């Protein structure tokens, strides 16, 4: 690690950073260790004091906390509150932390006890409805994506160190997708949430001919009402649209109005 950091003559501090995981696959943290070519420069910007996937040392004095995963247990809630107290900047890292992520799919079931029995059988386990970090503590920065995109993490970390405001694209994935001159997935007969999902992923899925599932949550002028018409016009059921909108939890505000209220038993939750 080189000595002090500075940019354009302005002295910068290398923030003390800790990485944490709540209920998650830890795949977002794994992304941090990818992109080897820039890995040394990336970690040179930070003073990592806790990172279970990469080191055994542990220190509880930190400025920035990257928290991956959603809150599903009482102990996680406590842990999160402690992290919040210690960190100056708390980063919701990945879609689970930002919106609940794939985990929150279980919230769709009306009968939570049934879910528990189905998944864990007789094994007693504490599991509550899934909540994103912002439901419990104040979140300073969101890093969207399932998983997060390393290039975006690098930019956000650099901006944080240099003191720039963290900015995200406000427009939808279509803009990134078109910049890559992809064939529109609707032309190929595939459903896609690209028109309403926040860009910044470089249209990762559509580039590979996979319709967008909305892991980055809604764009700032997301016209979900119109997307509903478009999906219907292309012959997709409202269930197909809902499956995607509900998958990562980012669109929860839009879903309530779309889902039919006649869900009686837990078993009818589809798409799982």
- Interface residues toward other proteins, by CB under 8 A: 5-10, 12, 38, 41-42, 44-45, 154-155, 158-159, 161-165, 167, 170-172, 174-175, 178-181, 183-184, 186-189, 194-196, 219-221, 223, 226-227, 229-230
Q: Would you say 217 and 198 are in contact if contact means Cβ atoms under 8 Å apart?
A: yes
Distance in Å, CB of 96 to other proteins, minimum: 26
- C-alpha span between 76 and 131 (Å, rounded): 11
Strands (E), the chain: 5-7, 10-12, 16-21, 47-50, 64-68, 89-93, 141-143
Residue 44 or residue 112: which is nearer to other proteins going by CB? Answer: 44
Distance in Å, CB of 235 to other proteins, minimum: 10
Distance in Å, CB of 44 to other proteins, minimum: 8
Nearest residue to 73 via CA among 118, 131, 146, 134: 131
Distance in Å, CB of 45 to other proteins, minimum: 7
- C-alpha span between 214 and 198 (Å, rounded): 8
Distance in Å, CB of 15 to other proteins, minimum: 14
Residue 11 or residue 113: which is nearer to other proteins going by CB? Answer: 11
- C-alpha span between 116 and 133 (Å, rounded): 22
Distance in Å, CB of 159 to other proteins, minimum: 8
Token pair listed for 33:
């260790």
Residue 77 or residue 154: which is nearer to other proteins going by CB? Answer: 154
Residue 49 or residue 177: which is nearer to other proteins going by CB? Answer: 177
- C-alpha span between 107 and 130 (Å, rounded): 7
Give the list of residues 6+ apart from residue 73 with CB closer than 8 angstroms, or none.
23, 126, 127, 128
Residue 110 or residue 175: which is nearer to other proteins going by CB? Answer: 175
Residue 55 or residue 179: which is nearer to other proteins going by CB? Answer: 179
- C-alpha span between 30 and 32 (Å, rounded): 5
Distance in Å, CB of 130 to other proteins, minimum: 29
Q: What angle do CA 20, 95, 21 make, to 5 degrees?
A: 15
Residue 59 or residue 151: which is nearer to other proteins going by CB? Answer: 151
Provide DSSP, 132-168.
-GGGTS--SEEE-BTTB-HHHHHHHHHHHHHTPPP--
């Amino acid at each position: 690690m080189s000595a002090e950091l500075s940019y354009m003559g302005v002295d910068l501090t290398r923030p003390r950073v800790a990485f944490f995981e709540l209920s998650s696959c830890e795949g977002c943290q794994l992304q941090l260790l990818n992109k080897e070519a820039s890995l040394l420069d990336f970690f040179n910007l930070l003073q990592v004091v806790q990172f279970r996937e990469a080191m055994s040392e542990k220190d509880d004095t930190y400025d920035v906390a990257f928290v991956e995963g959603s809150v599903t247990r009482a102990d996680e809630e406590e842990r999160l509150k402690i992290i919040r107290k210690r960190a100056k900047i708390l980063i919701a890292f990945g879609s689970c932390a930002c919106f609940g992520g794939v985990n929150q799919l279980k919230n769709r079931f009306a009968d939570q006890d049934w879910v528990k029995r189905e998944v864990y059988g007789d094994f007693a386990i504490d599991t509550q409805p899934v909540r994103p970090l912002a439901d419990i503590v104040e979140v300073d920065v969101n890093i969207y994506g399932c998983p997060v995109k390393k290039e975006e993490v690098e930019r956000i970390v650099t901006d944080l160190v240099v003191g720039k405001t963290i900015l995200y694209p406000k427009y939808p994935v279509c803009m990134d997708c078109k910049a890559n001159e992809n064939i529109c997935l609707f032309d190929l007969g595939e459903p896609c949430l690209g028109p309403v999902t926040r860009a910044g992923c470089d249209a990762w899925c559509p580039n590979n001919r996979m319709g967008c599932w909305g892991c980055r949550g809604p764009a700032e002028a997301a016209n979900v009402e119109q997307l509903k018409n478009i999906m219907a016009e292309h012959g997709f059921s409202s269930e197909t649209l809902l499956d995607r909108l509900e998958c990562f939890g980012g669109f929860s505000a839009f879903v309530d109005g779309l889902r039919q209220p006649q869900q009686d038993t837990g078993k009818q939750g589809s798409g799982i």
